[in-house]
A and B are shown apart, each in its own frame.
Chain A
């Protein structure tokens, strides 16, 4: 850390949040060259982490233990240990599932869609976000498996040939979920891992100690930086990006089908697929901000994950937030316009019924709070954006809660109307899922290449054949298409 700090202290910070379109803002600050970038990122995995990491890891591990205890209690006793009941057959279990799947959206979106759209600023945060995606999908995958009444038979959801001659029932959206989420998890994992190969090789090369050398060695798959490797790597990465892009849209569309294709008033809405995708990106970016802000502080990554990166994410957050707000309005309008009694009531009840507090909390968090981000001052202040992101995290969880639980409490026959309140196991498992997520994430921070070093280097001026040395020249930023054949093979320019 000492090295990094000295370097960054020596160089004046440049405000790279300029909005002047004629100026191409630098994406790496602190006067870092290739070596410094490698040093900054790779040293994180090599040093002892700061005390804060140990504290965070301890808390996460404790929560993970709570999750394990809750799981054992759940499986041995029955899903009745939750608060689910007769009208509300799905509650925290599916809310958590949809929440975590949503979180898992930002990573692949940043990696794949922004890659295809040539948004170079993504390189500093994509690794981060992809890791978050994988871990969020792990959390998401847990809930459908354990929410069933007989979890030991959950594998029946997969089309495995069996002695009963039974296939799953392909008309069920739950089955589509199985395919959508497992495909998404597989492709995201591959994408993450393939993208990490050059960086793993860097870690391997710098590794001290046998264990690390072997582990990183195995994981790096024999990468040696040859042109052939780079060529194959770039092709594979492009292909995976193309493959992952439709998945970003499909997975949450399919998750929304669980609701959209059903009979329940408040669920039965054709708006859901785009609305859920926008909501997922919204929630995902909020989580990236939530993770990135403390991590860049903690591990000295401020020069790589610059304020411009954070501001860009805030803009995406605001944009998707507006889509979500529009969707809320459309839902209400269509409920009124349909004239259908049950549909109308579902929405009146959502905002005026006994659980209206959750709907208003959702509106406050998802619609009102992000409006702060219209202001540049807010977008460039890490504290403000952290608070807004926290609001959005809470709001997006409650959005799923409102849709799932409130709609179920009062459906068609008034005799069956009920309520819902969670038990300690519900709360324990929600907290526990964060424990699982953060445990995995902190381990990754500790041992993985948290920033895509190789990719960052490609967007640095030094990567250009004619890299700008003066302020004037800096106006002409790197264009990846033109300089595709250039590799950051040489050492950095001081």
Chain B
């Protein structure tokens, strides 16, 4: 600025000095920033620098990251808002999940585009609960949403060459695959093999048909480690065609089960449990069903049965033979039975005869073809009206074992040039004797589509990320072949593709998943009004009228020959799908890993389940590491003593010991597949057991410590003897119940409830929330535990914390064994916050963080809680759970680490962004140092009451359903308003079986339990108690 340029027109001036243009002013003007010396920065003194930096850091600290307690939020506004969406209001979509070739009907809640809660579809015939108003889903289906947001899920296409692996992408894969498939196409598919997991999807079947039409020389194999192929073979021989049996338990007065875990492991278990419960509910009318079970393990169904016999696998078969002979279904040489077995057969035969058409016999899916043939013959002989049959689909395929055996042979002979593996994990769960992994390495081009970059992927040339079922279009058929459509609730998070999309890509079809499914459904739905029918299927999630037609049973043809009686030398090993990880596919799911096994209450592990008598003779105690060998193979696995486990049988749950599962599931438990050969997929005899001398810690949520005699006596007084009431468990048999309907109130201690003062409130304004839990209907399946965990953002704590006794489940299933360890009875008592009207926890909290509301909820105010844990000490039910660490931020496989920042910031910064997406936005995510517990799903209560209030309506019974109730197939849990005398819960509270646990402490619980009624045959019923003999007064 040398001299102002001549200006025309009127000039404005800032001050007189400027106008005067004194030299000082000119000098100031020439300096752009007066008083600023740029050199000062370069030559700033150390002291000056520290001063400036100190001040600015202090300011930044104060204002940006310092004293602030509100969460940082990132906003991602819709650029184009989807229609019909009200922000904050969850939407529900019907879909299906396919497990092992059977689809489960689901209803998924989505919050602002995020699926967060998986429930059963009430419209689905195999998902509806007892009563039919709600839809149940099992623990695995409910936990599948955690898999969706699993950060370990495969995110990229991986290309491998020997030991080298590199990230690739779909374009590169498409290019490589196009070249390979062009060549294959020319060769009619010669050298192409496809190994698929079992699928009930009509679209996959359609794509398979198209692929095989284009490449007729290609081989399509199917493998599932948990297979129902024995039933196919058995029914084919017995009835001339492959059949699926559908039990109608509502029509059965007598059910005889042989190793059939129909209430928890069977693909139709939800429906069966609901139907079973329908008959248990009739205890008050004196009309219950009676369930007999003879089994070679201890199953959930075994816990619920009225008479149970634990046998070695060979004896189960012998018993079935005897039963068939006695019922005139087969002839032949009489089977010799032990005394116990004969009594069981006598009783069940008498009952079966008496029940006539209202009786049914079912055998486990894994039992031999002969067993299925016999069951078919018996039911035909009984003219059972409680079992129907549909034709098994996919009859043209070889059995799963035969398929993988043949494929492995071809691979070993280098006949397979290209192998496409659709899902599954055969390198982990294939039969041990096949050495599938070794053969897989020899295939020039192997492609694995999978959710995880797992054991099988590691051996393939290409790993492709598979879209989760909540991310893609699909379809499936239920147990009775009812078809459903699976619709995506979210875009694939990691760019995965579904099976049908991959097949389309490989076949060069430019179709997306939706187009493929719609094309398939053109043949299922009415042609004339496809769009309308399609929309209805999407809405309902099921097309009921397209269920498989019932097949009339034909005359019994031939049955497979009896197998030779096997030797009883050594131990029988029984391989069973785990109740949590199934065949291993859920190993990376923290909710399932931490779900206590319904029988053993074991978390984060599998174990060799051993009868206490065997343990004694082997000198083994709980947690001893055993070496189990059979056929030259052996594994080291910890012993877990299970009362009721048949002597001579060791149950080995599958699905653990994965070596490439992910950060949660890798190296959890012991892989039991190495003992499982293609010959003996379900049992193997002649195993030897040796102690290794090492001890392995087992994380049990109950019986953390073995009880000494003093503890056992006290426990027995509290839970009662077999079939009898104790202080906290009330139960009896149906006959005794009829004789003494008020039995549940006989043993009440301290009946006088002295109260120093009148309670200031009745806690019933405007509603009085209450719950009823029917111990007669509860089977202990633990679906409610996962439902609660998913709904209420309950953290996973990890094995170390379960060992420390800090599991966080708000709802637990207390499992009590009664009677002798060899032949125990089991009672399951779902335990959660009882919402006591005079809550002991509230009185002792110094900061009023737990208080009652006017409707009787014992509420937790998380932000007021400082964590004295006094409430937990004072809770006689021990249902309060404390965040000893920031469990959401803690790695379940690692220890808790110090958090140097403000504690409030830990969750936001430490929890993976993807993992955070699973949180239910309706429920606070609790930080460390805070107590928490069941709220009766207060968020659901508020949502329902608000909705009704806005609509100006009265709240109806059934409007509020807690998450646990929602998931319960038997509706053992009922929630509602006690102010309404007609509500279901009020009626149950008035039931003469209803009692409050620990009522004698004057806690006045709002949760009541309905005493358990069992219906044993007169021969096995425990002797009635001689009068009122209960000690203690």
Task: Report if A and B associate in a common complex.
Answer: yes
Q: Which A residues are closer than 8 A to B by beta carbons?
A: 72-73, 76-81, 83-90, 147-154, 156-157, 164, 166-169, 171-175, 178, 258, 261-264, 339-341, 344-345, 348-349, 352-354, 408, 410-419
A410 touches B846 (CB 8 A): no
What chain A residues lie within 8 Å of B728 (beta carbons)? 412-413
Contacting pair A77 B898 (CB below 8 A) = yes
Asked if B878 and A149 sit within 8 Å, CB to CB, the answer is no
> Given contacts A411-B878, A413-B997, could you give 16 more A-B pairs where the C-beta distance is less than 8 Å?
A78-B929, A85-B806, A148-B929, A152-B903, A153-B866, A166-B864, A167-B848, A172-B846, A262-B840, A341-B718, A349-B710, A353-B711, A410-B711, A410-B714, A414-B718, A415-B814
A475 to chain B, nearest CB (A): 57
Q: Across the interface, do A262 and B873 meet the contact criterion of CB distance under 8 Å?
A: yes
Assess whether B874 is in contact with A264, with CB atoms less than 8 Å apart.
Answer: yes
Q: If A149-B867, A166-B864, A411-B878 touch, does A172 touch B843 (CB 8 Å cutoff)?
A: yes
Q: A80-B801, A149-B869 given as contacts; is B847 within 8 A of A169 (CB)?
A: yes
- With A and B bound together, what is the CA distance between A58 and B320 in angstroms? 79
User: Which residues of A have CB within 8 Å of B710?
Assistant: 345, 348-349, 352-353
State how many angstroms separate the Cβ of B707 from the closest Cβ of chain A: 8
List, in ascending order, chain B residues with CB within 8 A of A76's CB.
898-900
A156 CB, nearest partner CB in chain B, Å: 5
* A89 lies within 8 A of B869 (CB): yes
Can you name the residue of chain B whose Cβ is closest to the Cβ of A156?
B847
> Known contacts being A89-B882, A413-B728, is A419 close to B704, with CB within 8 Å?
yes
- Count of A-B contacts judged by CB separation below 8 Å: 203
| Nearest CB in chain A to that of B709: its residue | A352
Which residues of A have CB within 8 Å of B708? Answer: 352-354
Q: Which B residues contact A (CB, under 8 angstroms)?
A: 702-705, 707-708, 710-711, 714-715, 717-719, 727-728, 749-750, 801, 804-807, 812, 814-816, 829, 831, 840, 843-848, 864-870, 872-878, 881-886, 896-900, 903, 927-931, 997-998, 1001, 1032-1033
Nearest A residue to B797, CB-CB: A80
Closest-by-CB residue of B relative to A87 is: B878
- The interface residues of chain A lying within 8 Å CB-to-CB of B816 are 414-415
Query: A174, B866: Cβ atoms under 8 Å?
Result: no
B interface, by DSSP: helix, strand, loop or mixed? loop
Shortest Cβ gap from B806 to chain A (Å): 5
Task: Name the residue in A166, A262, A418 with the highest tally of chain B Cβ atoms < 10 Å from its Cβ.
Answer: A418
Residue from the list B702, B848, B896 in contact with A168, Cβ < 8 A: B848
Residue of B nearest to A350 (CB): B710
B998 touches A412 (CB 8 A): yes
Of chain A, the residue at the smallest CB distance from B901 is: A76
Evaluate contact between B870 and A86: CB separation under 8 angstroms: no
Q: How far is the CA of A79 from the CA of B868 in the complex (A)?
A: 10
Contacts of A414 in B (CB 8 A): 707, 711, 714-715, 718-719, 816
Bound-state Cα–Cα, A153 to B801, Å: 25
User: For the complex, what is the distance from the CA of A72 to the CA of B998, rounded to whole Å?
Assistant: 41
> What residue in chain B is nearest A174 (Cβ atoms)?
B846
Shortest beta-carbon distance, A225 to chain B, in Å?
47
Give every chain B residue within 8 A of A152 (Cβ-Cβ). Answer: 903
Query: CA separation between A166 and B705, bound complex, in Å?
Result: 42
Would you give the shortest CB distance from A428 to chain B, in whole angstroms? 15
A-B contact list, 22 entries, CB within 8 Å: A77-B885, A77-B897, A80-B806, A80-B885, A81-B896, A85-B804, A85-B884, A90-B873, A148-B929, A149-B865, A149-B867, A149-B928, A150-B927, A156-B847, A167-B848, A171-B843, A345-B710, A349-B711, A413-B876, A414-B718, A417-B705, A418-B705
Nearest chain B residue, comparing its CB with the CB of A89: B869
Contacts of B719 in A (CB 8 A): 414
CB pair B807–A86 under 8 Å, yes or no, is: yes
Min CB gap A256→B, angstroms:
14
Q: Are B866 and A168 neighbours in the complex by a CB distance under 8 Å?
A: no
CB of B809, distance to nearest CB on chain A (Å): 10
Q: Is the CB of A87 within 8 A of B870?
A: no
Residue of A nearest to B813 (CB): A415
Q: Are B928 and A157 in contact (CB under 8 A)?
A: no
Closest to A83 in B: B804
B808 (CB) vs chain A CBs: closest residue: A86
Q: Which residue of A lies closest to B815 (CB)?
A: A415
Q: Are B870 and A172 in contact (CB under 8 A)?
A: yes
Q: In the complex, what's the smallest C-beta–C-beta distance from B30 to chain A, in angstroms? A: 54
| Given known contacts A166-B864, A414-B816, A73 and B898 CB-to-CB distance under 8 angstroms | yes
With a CB–CB cut-off of 8 A, which chain B residues contact A410? 711, 714
Closest beta carbon of chain B to A167's beta carbon, Å: 8
Chain B positions within 8 Å of A147 at CB level? 868
Most chain A beta-carbon contacts within 10 A, residue among B750, B878, B885: B878
Are B873 and A354 neighbours in the complex by a CB distance under 8 Å?
no
Complex CA–CA separation, A282 to B805 (angstroms): 35
Residues on the A chain within 8 Å of B711, using CB: 349, 353-354, 410, 414, 417
In the bound assembly, the distance between CA atoms of A13 and B491 in angstroms comes to 95
Find out whether the CB atom of B805 lies under 8 angstroms from the CB atom of A150: no
- Across chains A and B, which 3 residue pairs bring their CB atoms closest together, nearest first? A149-B867, A149-B929, A80-B884
**Please, how many angstroms separate the alpha-carbon atoms of A263 and B839 in the complex?**
10
Return the chain A residue nearest B898 by Cβ.
A76
Other-chain contact of B882, A81, A83, A149, A352 (Cβ < 8 Å): A149
The answer to whether B705 and A79 have CB atoms under 8 Å apart is: no
- Min distance, Cβ A148 to any Cβ of chain B, angstroms: 5
Contact A149 B930 (CB under 8 A): yes
Partner of B846, one of A83, A175, A352, A413: A175
Closest CB of chain B to A212's CB: distance in Å? 36
Minimum distance in angstroms from B817 CB to a CB of chain A: 11
Complex contacts, A83 vs chain B, CB 8 Å: 804
Contact at A418–B847, with CB atoms within 8 Å?
no
A78 close to B844 (CB less than 8 A):
no
CA distance A166 to B865 in the complex (A): 12
The answer on a CB contact under 8 Å between A85 and B876 is: no
Contact of A150 with B867 in the complex, beta carbons under 8 Å: yes
Instruction: Provide the residues of chain A in CB contact with B881, threshold 8 Å.
Output: 86
Query: Considering the chains assembled together, what is the distance between the CA atoms of A417 and B897 in angstroms?
Result: 28
In the bound assembly, the distance between CA atoms of A89 and B841 in angstroms comes to 13
CB closest residue in chain B, given A150:
B929
Complex-state Cα separation, A236 to B882, whole angstroms: 48
Task: Point out the residue from B714, B727, B805, B930 that lies within 8 Å of A87, measured CB to CB.
Answer: B805
Q: Which of B805, B847, B877 contacts A413 (CB 8 A)?
A: B877
Q: How far is the CA of A258 from the CA of B844 in the complex (A)?
A: 8
Smallest beta-carbon distance A149→chain B, Å: 2
- Expressed in whole angstroms, the Cα–Cα distance for A156 and B863 within the complex equals 12
In the bound assembly, the distance between CA atoms of A79 and B885 in angstroms comes to 7
A270 to chain B, nearest CB (A): 14
Complex alpha-carbon distance, A349 and B882, angstroms: 26
CA distance A348 to B937 in the complex (A): 39
**Please, which residues of chain A bring their CB within 8 A of the CB of B707?**
414, 417
Known: A86-B807, A172-B844. A154 touches B873 (CB 8 A): no
Chain A residue numbers with a CB within 8 Å of B930 are 149-150
- Give the one of A88, A169, A419 with max B CB within 10 A: A169
Give chain B residues whose Cβ lies under 8 Å from the Cβ of A164.
Answer: 864
Q: Which residues of A contact B715 (CB under 8 A)?
A: 414
What residues of B have a CB within 8 angstroms of the CB of A77 in the complex? 885, 896-899
Q: Which residues of B contact A178 (CB under 8 A)?
A: 846
Q: Decide: B885 and A157 in contact? CB cutoff 8 A.
A: no
Query: Is A154 a contact of B866 with CB atoms below 8 Å?
Result: yes
Q: A87-B805, A150-B866, A418-B805 are in contact. Are A78 and B885 (CB under 8 A)?
A: yes
A339: chain B residues at CB < 8 Å are: 1032-1033
Contact partner, B874, options A84, A85, A156, A262, Cβ 8 Å: A262
Is A412 a contact of B877 with CB atoms below 8 Å?
yes
Find out whether the CB atom of B831 lies under 8 angstroms from the CB atom of A413: yes
Q: Nearest Cβ distance between residue A362 and chain B, in whole angstroms?
A: 18
- With CB as the reference atom, state the residue of chain A lying closest to B728: A413
Contact of B749 among A85, A151, A341 (CB under 8 A): A341
Does the CB pair A354–B868 fall under 8 Å? no
Q: Report whether B866 and A148 are in contact in the complex, using a CB–CB cutoff of 8 Å.
A: yes
CB-based contact A174/B868 at 8 Å: yes
List residues of chain A with CB within 8 A of the CB of B845.
169, 172
Cα of A166 to Cα of B877 in the assembled complex, Å = 29
